[in-house]
Structure 1
Amino acid sequence: MITVSPARDTTPTARPRPAPDRTARTRRRRTGSLAGLLLAAPFILLLIGTVLVPVGYAIYLSAFTDRLSGLGFGGPRQVFVALGNYATVLTDHDFLRSVGNVCLYALIHVPLMMGSALLLALLLDSAVTRFRQVWSLAMFLPYAVPGVITGLIWAYLYSPGIGPINAISPVDPLSGHGILGSIVNISQWQWMGYNMIIFYTALQTVPKELLEAARVDGAGEIRTALQVKVPLIRPTAFVALVFTIIGSMQLFTEPLILRTFTGAISSTWTPSLYVYESAFVANDYGRAAAASVILALASALLSALVMQLSTRRSR
């Protein structure tokens, strides 16, 4: 008797997919993190070496001062004074006067710089301007001149007897009444092209569709600039504003050069000159370090305030 066995089902069955390998996924994440860390390593090393270490050393120096031991025959010795140097700086009339000079300089320089650079950028971006590259290069060239050379050029232009500006100006540019305007003029001449290029580059990113729509609606060049272009580059304007404020707080080269041509600028006319005089003339490195830390904190607080205002305005 022959028995027939039932046919076997040879249809391949779908196998369940294996669960994702968590170990491999974790390994890929670690590899990606390591690659990102390696790419960021040069920046981190530069940040530590050029910013964090000098700032930390300045904070360390600001807590010490040199005092003579005994009758002075033993030479100076370093003494820990905690916040004593900060109290000395903040109660020093020369430092307070230098802060006042810088604040007055910033009140004139910052609005004038931002307004003139933005106006020039809008003129270059307008449809009526020709030879834009030539004009932008001509305005940017003063920024390429070193600050010391710029100060010397303008010092001779301001000097009586040899400078044409002194001959036609109703006020002596190197006198006590004209020195602030002279320094503002030098800063304008050197940095206006730099800020103009920043604004002009931002204007190139404005969508052409919006400009065409504004022209179709009958808006002229001035209305398009004020209501379309300027609002769209507001974040760039705030960044340029932060840089300009920080540069104003660190004013140093221009008064240092002009000081040799006039007696209207003292050795502590700005906070940076105060730091320079304290460190390299009076050899009081603790006081110089404390003034540097105060200046850095003031710049950081002003920058944070401007960025906070920028964030609120964007919202």
Structure 2
Amino acid sequence: MRRAAWGFLTPFLALFALFFVLPLGYALVRSLYAVRRPGLGFGPASVEFAALRNYAAVLADPVFRSALGRIAVLGLVQIPVMLGLAAVLALLLDAGLARAVRWFRLGFFLPYGVPGVIAVLLWANLYVPQVFPLAWTDLLAPPYVLAAIGNIVTWEYVGYNTLILVTALQAVPRSLIEAAAADGAGPWRTAWSVKLPLLRPALVLTATFSIIGTLQLFSEPAVLRTITPAVSAGYTPNLHVYNTIFTDDLPHLGAAQAVLLAAVTFALSIAFLRVTRRWSAA
């Protein structure tokens, strides 16, 4: 049995080590060094051990802190809205209130299959009042661009999360639904008192994935940055890391930013799982 278990685990562990552990370890090592140029910056460059100076610089960087705060606001609003919509759609599909359920599932999932660049370009055109009459103002202006990004992300991923929740609902024993109906519970009461509590593990899973994905947000602001000046080079943490490494040519500082972002992602995910576990046990 142990050999069989290790046989199933080995492919995952190998890919996990190759695409996660090794890159993170490489970034961690690079973050401990810095490029030094003597002679007022005109001398030959040399890589020197910098200890934690890069991390101190990142923590003191107002752009990086603003990007983390901005993404936190986005996640606190967008994730509950997205998962709430996904739960409602999943309950409607499971209740059989929609005809041609398979086509609805496909329709919900299609936005997830659209590349992020195309989705951003599509919505960017709809946000302009001259193109889309329902846009009462320029939604790519600074006061609204964060909400515009949140709308794009919601449109892309609500169907994906809906399918996960629908799959979880299909695992609910039909005997529980029949018992609720026999006790006189209608569709809404059954959904609220029976199905939603049993959806909690799936909702925790999708919420965890959404937290990780929100902190890694990159494609949407990167494309919008070419369209509107409201999105700066450091608008999101991941975008800030990219520009630090490839635009500012500071790979060691960018590595420190990436390691700190990974640490924040890990800490928030673990904290969320612990909080939800306590709520479940209460």
Whether the TM-score (by the shorter chain) exceeds 0.5 is: yes
Whether 1:76 and 2:42 are equivalent positions in the alignment is no
SS at match of 1:294: helix
Per-residue CA deviations over 1:171-230 (Å, capped at 9, x if unaligned) read 311101111111111011100000000001000011111101111111111110010001
Q: CA deviation at 1:159?
A: 3.6
The 3 A distance-change label for structure 1 pair 217 and 189 is same
In structure 1, the partner of 2:134 is: 168
Which residue matches 1:178?
Answer: 144
| Shift in alpha-carbon separation, 1:137–1:84, aligned structure 2, 3 A | same
Q: 1:206 to 1:35 in 2, by over 3 A?
A: closer
Q: Is the 8 A contact 2:128 2:137 kept in 1?
A: no
> In structure 2, what residue type is equivalent to 1:89?
V
CA contact (8 A) 1:183 1:255 kept: yes
Aligned to 1:206: 172
Q: Is the 8 A contact 2:127 2:135 kept in 1?
A: no
Residue 60 (structure 1) aligned to one of 29, 33, 54:
29
The one-letter amino acid paired with 2:198 is L
Letter in structure 1 aligned against 2:270: A
- Are positions 1:309 and 2:275 aligned together? yes
Structure whose CA Rg is larger = 1
The aligned amino acid for 2:148 is S
TM-score normalised over the length of structure 2? 0.95
Does structure 1 residue 100 correspond to structure 2 residue 69? yes
Is the contact made by 1:171 and 1:177 (CA closer than 8 Å) also made in structure 2? no
Give the C-alpha shift of residue 123 in structure 1.
0.7
What do the CA deviations read for 1:52-93 (whole angstroms, capped 9, x no partner)? 110000000110111103354442111211111111011111
SS in 2 for 1:79: strand
Q: Displacement, 1:311?
A: 2.2
Aligned pairs for 1:235-274 within 5 A: 235-274=201-240
Aligned-pair CA distance for 1:46: 1.1
CA–CA distance in structure 2, aligned partners of residues 314 and 72 of structure 1: 57
3-state SS of the aligned residue for 2:35? strand
Relative to the length of structure 1, the TM-score reads 0.85
Query: CA 1:82/1:232 → structure 2, altered by over 3 Å: closer, same or farther?
Result: same
Query: How far does residue 39 in structure 1 lie from its aligned partner after superposition?
Result: 4.1
> Within 2, Cα distance between the matches of 1:37 and 1:208?
35
Q: Which sits farther off after the overlay, 183-192 or 41-50?
A: 41-50
Aligned identity (percent) is 42
Q: Do 2:172 and 2:198's aligned partners in 1 also have CA atoms closer than 8 Å?
A: yes
- One-letter code of the match for 1:213? A
Q: What residue is the counterpart of 1:4 in the other structure?
A: none
Give the residue type in structure 1 aligned to 2:160.
Y
Whichever residue aligns with residue 209 of structure 2, its letter is F
Among 212, 219, 234, the alignment partner of 2:185 is: 219
For residue 168 of structure 1, give the secondary structure of its aligned residue in structure 2.
Answer: coil
Cα 1:125–1:254 shift into 2, 3 Å: same
Corresponding residue of 2:158: 192
Aligned counterparts of 1:160 and 1:129: Cα–Cα separation in 2: 33
The 1:34/1:207 distance shift into structure 2, 3 A limit, reads closer
Matched, 1:85 2:54: yes
What do the CA deviations read for 1:95-152 (whole angstroms, capped 9, x no partner)? 1111111011111111101101001100111133221111111010000111111112
1:310 aligned partner, one-letter code: T
Q: Quick one: distance in 2 between partners of 1:39 and 1:142? A: 33
Counterpart-to-counterpart distance in 1, 2:66 and 2:41:
33
Task: Give the whole-Å Cα distance in 1 for the aligned partners of 2:161 and 2:154.
Answer: 10
* Count, aligned residues: 281
> 34-43 vs 62-71, which deviates more?
34-43
Question: How is 1:142-161 mapped onto 2 (pairs within 5 angstroms)?
Answer: 142-159=111-128, 161=130
CA distance in 1, matches of 2:246, 2:128: 28
The answer for the alignment partner of 1:281 in structure 2 is 247
